[in-house]
Structure 1
């Protein structure tokens, strides 16, 4: 059996308010052709189908158009799990209809065992804290972390047992949407559990023949383990992914051979560091037609820096972000040299507020984490 593993489509995502739908549409075109020409038997999509719990209608339309084209192939089964960005109920709404076309959708956790014929899949979506444990008054973060990680480990152990009972000698594959220790993260990923409580070791997946992971956007093996992999996102979702080569994984269950299939680049992102004194010459080296984040090394602040950089680019490429690299003596009073507010996660914003007010905030941070977790659960339910 040949299985294709992908994840983290984030349909509806934007980059500095730039639309990405045409890039996602091009990926869907490529994927349908790949499924056909590579004689793929099953598609695994490991979470974050959409970028938001309430995605824009054009993103939803693209998703259903892809599923229609997938069904038209008449040869490819699919397993789709929810991620931390997805609404479980939104994903699950058409599941009974999709099951008629051999498309199996799982927004919520449970005993989600799918028999694909040549392999059996434990289709584990993102496990929210309420799926893993009951909160109690007076808990400290270390206790919560231990409970969450133990519950994740126990969940996969039960899934493995259930799959083995069905599979016999056939391969058993796990899906998951979580952070695994030893992986490399990007700027575009949201903490999957507050404070990263749910990060687990790759040994959680011991006993599975392959683990198809989602959540981290950089394609990678986990801690050097060949059979535990993140496929990564098909589209670069932040400038921190500018140098990444996007791909999908293809697994041949006969001998468990794994092949990384590169994706064609439809949109080039680049990060550029330039000097103010040689701005025009430095920008001449930037490739045409890309989207760029430009950091300019300055001796002193310049109020119209953004305009100067865009003019120097001369329309050959689009400058989405301009950052100033100033001497330490110049930054504190004039400009915040860290990420912009819209680039921070809510927990980071609250942490910055505590620092600014000089508040010792461990207890307050714990309360904020609980409130944030409650809000996340309500939004994505």
Structure 2
């Protein structure tokens, strides 16, 4: 019997954009996704990592997640018989795994972390009559400690090689188990692999939120890491939809909503995979835009004209403005706020390099931005702004607190990658 699969990933539920909640976008996307599952008769939904944007999603975000699972997996009459969810580098493995035994009773398979036994990641799925219909190798995000041992004195090249070898060996083992299980069943059913990783040659875009998942070793996996026993490889982590080495059966579906303004013009997709026997046919399904994002650049006159055009079209876009001119930041801010006043448009960020450029003019002729520490650049920006001397100590201390917060987040992310 044919099997119809939907491949999605990188929801990043709970993500904000320059301080603005995006809950309404995620709610609209999950409603659309559930409707797509129902209207297209999807029998297996696979979600390849980064379900949440942080390891501690808020209550409203958790509610969206469980409401969605209830609608497609627990509602009588839903065509979706199976849901398989694996973790990404943004997810908390323990948070995802906490309800997995309860969810498994409803044929929702969640794998947040490796258990030490690759056989736990090989899931046999059965149709409504109880006959085998697919095997899913649900590989969660493989953390550093899962795939390599640390040795004293090893070089960066040693680390990268061991990481690459570790990923390849892990997939080789789950592939071996899946192949043996299929042979023992005597059923010619498809084997689907899942993963959340960066394969060599992948495409990223500016400000897409994709971050290095193994420090110093972003591009560590080649397509040869996935053995031929896999009839389809459903990948996550990259936000741009793409094939791996131009192969039809190894795919990234990409993120379903733009993670930042760098993705604003990108058509988002989910992938429908229809199996006749073990032969997959992939159909790209376009995801609607639930919140327009617009990046505008130019002088004040050019920006005002662009905003006027959006207003006349009734746009409700969020705007990122890249000002290119010599006006003072306060003047630019006021002009842009007046331009959007009374409209549905919202300014999320104004980029203005004038203060930084002025600050750097005070540097030595042979001095570069890379040679200055962040606090030195900030102090020069205060000078360029003509900031009152009485305000500077408080502003500098606030800036130091921001830097400390960023450094602490980096340390926590590194620790989580190793834990």
User: Does the CA-based 8 Å contact 1:210-1:227 persist in structure 2?
Assistant: yes
Structure 1 residues 251-294: Cα deviation after superposition (integer angstroms, max 9, x where no partner): 00113100011111111111111223433223223361001111
2:318 equivalent in structure 1: 291
Q: Separation in 1 of the partners of 2:244 and 2:355?
A: 38
1:139 offset after TM fit, Å? 2.0
After the TM superposition, which of the residue ranges 249-258 and 268-277 deviates more from structure 2?
268-277
Pairing 1:130–2:145 present? yes
1:129 offset after TM fit, Å? 0.2
Q: Separation in 2 of the partners of 1:37 and 1:321?
A: 38
CA gap of 1:48–1:320, structure 2 versus 1, over 3 A, is same
1:102 equivalent in structure 2: 107
Pairing 1:209–2:228 present? no
Q: Separation in 1 of the partners of 2:262 and 2:372?
A: 22
Between structure 1 and structure 2, the one with the greater Rg is 2
The 3-state SS of whatever aligns with 1:147 is helix
User: Does the CA-based 8 Å contact 1:275-1:282 persist in structure 2?
Assistant: no
Q: Separation in 2 of the partners of 1:196 and 1:251?
A: 31
Identify which of 302, 307, 332 aligns with 2:360: 332
The 3-state SS of whatever aligns with 1:295 is strand
Q: How many residues align?
A: 354
Unpaired segments ≥5 residues, structure 2? 126-131, 363-369, 378-407
1:167 equivalent in structure 2: 182
Q: Separation in 2 of the partners of 1:194 and 1:352?
A: 24
1:313 offset after TM fit, Å? 2.7
The 3-state SS of whatever aligns with 1:299 is coil
The 5 Å alignment of 1:105-254 reads 105-109=110-114, 110-111=118-119, 112-116=121-125, 117-168=132-183, 169-186=188-205, 187=207, 188-197=209-218, 199-207=220-228, 208-254=230-276
1:340 equivalent in structure 2: none
Q: Separation in 2 of the partners of 1:171 and 1:139?
A: 40
Identify which of 338, 346, 366 aligns with 1:318: 346
Unpaired segments ≥5 residues, structure 1? 335-349, 358-367
1:173 offset after TM fit, Å? 1.2
The 5 Å alignment of 1:8-47 reads 8-47=10-49
CA gap of 1:55–1:356, structure 2 versus 1, over 3 A, is same
Q: Separation in 1 of the partners of 2:147 and 2:86?
A: 17
The 3-state SS of whatever aligns with 1:3 is strand
CA gap of 1:332–1:23, structure 2 versus 1, over 3 A, is same
Q: Separation in 2 of the partners of 1:23 and 1:192?
A: 26
TM-score (normalizing by structure 2): 0.78
Identify which of 366, 372, 376 aligns with 2:416: 376
1:52 equivalent in structure 2: 54
After the TM superposition, which of the residue ranges 70-79 and 258-267 deviates more from structure 2?
70-79
1:152 offset after TM fit, Å? 0.4
Structure 1 residues 10-66: Cα deviation after superposition (integer angstroms, max 9, x where no partner): 111111111111111111111111111111110000011111111101111111111
TM-score (normalizing by structure 1): 0.85
The 3-state SS of whatever aligns with 1:118 is strand
After the TM superposition, which of the residue ranges 71-80 and 33-42 deviates more from structure 2?
71-80
The 3-state SS of whatever aligns with 1:194 is coil
The 3-state SS of whatever aligns with 1:39 is coil
1:128 offset after TM fit, Å? 0.4
Pairing 1:281–2:278 present? no
1:75 offset after TM fit, Å? 3.9
Structure 1 residues 299-332: Cα deviation after superposition (integer angstroms, max 9, x where no partner): 3544432222222233341110111255996462
Q: Separation in 2 of the partners of 1:133 and 1:351?
A: 35
2:91 equivalent in structure 1: 86
Identify which of 293, 299, 303 aligns with 1:269: 293
CA gap of 1:206–1:265, structure 2 versus 1, over 3 A, is same
Q: Separation in 2 of the partners of 1:99 and 1:156?
A: 23
The 3-state SS of whatever aligns with 1:190 is coil
CA gap of 1:353–1:190, structure 2 versus 1, over 3 A, is farther
What is the root-mean-square deviation of aligned Cα atoms in Å?
2.7
User: Does the CA-based 8 Å contact 2:37-2:79 persist in structure 1?
Assistant: no
